[in-house]
Amino acid sequence: QVQLVESGGGLVQAGGSLRLSCAVSGLTFSRYAMGWFRQAPGKEREFVGAINRNGDSPLYADSVKDRFTISRDNAQNTVYLQMNSLKPEDTAVYYCAGDHQYPYYSSTSRAGAYDYWGKGTQVTVSS
Whole-number Å distance between alpha carbons of 105 and 103: 7
The residue length of the chain stands at 127
Whole-number Å distance between alpha carbons of 74 and 28: 9
User: pLDDT digit string (tens) for 54-83?
Assistant: 998 899 999 999 999 999 999 999 999 999
Whole-number Å distance between alpha carbons of 13 and 59: 26
User: pLDDT digit string (tens) for 100-110?
Assistant: 998 888 899 99
**3-state DSSP call for residue 60?**
strand
Provide the pLDDT for residue 57: 85
Question: pLDDT band at 114, cuts 50/70/90?
Answer: very high
Least confident interval from 27-31, 66-70, 84-88, 105-109? 105-109
At CA 108, angle to CA 77 and CA 54, rounded to 5? 40
Question: pLDDT band at 22, cuts 50/70/90?
Answer: very high
Q: Evaluate whether 18 touches 86 at the Cβ level (below 8 Å).
A: yes
Cβ neighbors of 30 (< 8 A, separation 6 or more) are 53, 74, 102
